[in-house]
Structure 1
């Protein structure tokens, strides 16, 4: 297997696993702190913005001719 292909698939899989783990942590934090529906929404919204920023960064970098 080509190292670039391996790196691509590992990066994709590990970033996905990291985001899923962070979602679990946010859910657990919201549950333990009794954040309610609005607080839980705000926590997941902030996590979603971080993930969206990561995705947009990848799109911009790939669009620059890389």
Structure 2
């Protein structure tokens, strides 16, 4: 296994795992703050924008390569 293959595997498995963990943290933060439905949506939108930007970037890169 080359360094490039290991890096690619880490990007394909590590980043989605990190994103899922961050979504759990946002959910737990909203639950502990008793934010309610509107507050939870606001937290996911405000804190999830950066993660969504990364996901969109990956999709666009894949689309342009194929």
Report the TM range for the smaller structure's normalisation.
0.7 to 0.9
Instruction: Structure 1: state its 5+ residue gaps.
Output: none
Structure 1 residue 44: Cα displacement: 1.1
> What is the CA distance between 1:13 and its match in structure 2?
0.9
Stretches (4+) displaced over 6 A: none
The superposition leaves residues 22-46 of structure 1 with CA deviations (integer Å, 9 ceiling, x where unpaired) of 1111111000100000010111112
**What's 1:36 paired with?**
36
Structure 2 unaligned segments of length 5 or more: list them.
none
Aligned to 1:10: 10
Task: Find the aligned partners of 1:24 and 1:56 in 2 and give their Cα distance.
Answer: 20
Give the TM-score normalised by structure 1.
Answer: 0.75
Q: How many residues align?
A: 64
